[in-house]
Amino acid sequence: MDAYIDHTTGDYTGQRCTDLHNAVWLRLRIRKGTYWADPQMGSRLHELARAKDMPQTHTLARQYAEQALQPLIDDKRATAVDVVVTSPETGWLRLSITVTSAGGDVLTFRHPVKVV
């Protein structure tokens, strides 16, 4: 069990994490190639900060999130990952991510991505 990370602040909450919350959050927030313990961990979502809010950007955001979370499936910690991208307001994309854990629990995450 790991210390639970609050996804809004990035700080530890003092609680214990018993699900895939931390694993998902870290894989989406860390820039791919910058984590010292695993250079393959992380996502390319930061690259979209200079992209325009267009259908192609929505597709890239979905692909980048799926690529970042694929190791959870490869490690058999999750059985499925589903990513839906919406644009709730100008300058932001919202990733709605559903992860089915190996134990059958369905976890839902929302992750904002800044765009132009």
Q: Which domains does the chain have, with CATH numbers?
A: 20-114 (3.10.450.40)
- Coil/strand/helix, residue 7: coil
pLDDT of the chain, 116 residues: tens digit per residue: 466 566 666 655 555 555 687 788 889 999 998 988 888 999 999 999 999 999 999 999 999 999 999 999 999 999 999 999 999 888 999 999 999 999 899 999 999 999 98
What per-residue confidence (pLDDT) applies to 12? 58
Strands 12-17 and 106-114: unpaired
What per-residue confidence (pLDDT) applies to 7? 60
What's the CA gap between 42 and 82, in Å, rounded? 17
Packing angle, helices 21-29 and 55-74, rounded to 10: 130
What's the CA gap between 77 and 61, in Å, rounded? 22
What per-residue confidence (pLDDT) applies to 26? 85
